[in-house]
Homo-oligomer: A and B are copies of this chain.
Amino acid sequence: MSSTDAVPTELLKRPKRADALRNYEKVLTAAREAFAEGGEATALEEIARRAGVGIGTLYRNFPNRQALLEALYLGEVEQVCRSAAEFADAEPWDALNGWIGRLVAYIGTKRALAGELQNYLDQDAELFATSRESLWGAGRPLLTRAQEAGAVRRDVTIGELIQLVVGIVKIPSADPEQVDHILRVALDGLRYQA
């Protein structure tokens, strides 16, 4: 839970000041907590208060609500991507399934975040496309391996597979068992060529 390297250092032209970095982290952490507790509609001023910074500081780091949500989102996606490596040694079908399980678990805890994000998608699809690419990159080897082993129909792309899973899991049904079953049915469908 120690979050030291959570800053996307790739594009920082010059090093930030130490206090600025601290505040950036504090806002991100407060936002994570606040969205989890109080729902996706939590006021940004409340988040600034929790973080112990002024509203101006929040907005300097994240020009608008969407930017803050995206920053959270990107961090989470990165985690899922990294988890793909864990399944490199398993049987093709099991590996794919295992990683999908991770994806499902991730979406389950962050459903509110995902929902809010969908509202902003049309406005700024750029950053979202980037993260989608990395998610695809992480999952594609698993899918390809499963297809080459004959465990999955070959006309499915990794993008389709992920969207299928995301679409199902994001369903606002009260019953998680039902969602599980739907997912299982859909994944069964992957195994047979039409």
Contact = CB atoms under 8 A, between A and B. Distances in A.
Interface of A: 40-41, 115-116, 118-119, 121-122, 125, 153, 155-157, 159-160, 163-164, 166-174, 178-179, 181-182, 184-190, 192, 194
A150 to B, nearest CB: 16
B182 A188 contact: no
A105 to B, nearest CB: 17
Given A118-B172, A171-B163, A188 B189 contact: yes
Taking the full assembly, how many copies of this chain does it contain?
A: 2
Contacts of A189: 185-190, 192
A89 B193 CA distance: 29
Contacts of A171: 163, 166-167
A185 B178 contact: no
B178 A173 contact: no
Contacts of A172: 118, 121-122
Contact of A182 (B40, B121, B160, B179): B160
Contacts of A153: 185
Contacts of A167: 167-171, 182
Given A41-B119, A163-B178, A192-B192, 16 more contacts: A118-B118, A122-B172, A125-B174, A155-B185, A159-B178, A160-B178, A163-B168, A163-B182, A164-B182, A167-B171, A167-B182, A170-B170, A186-B186, A188-B189, A188-B194, A189-B192
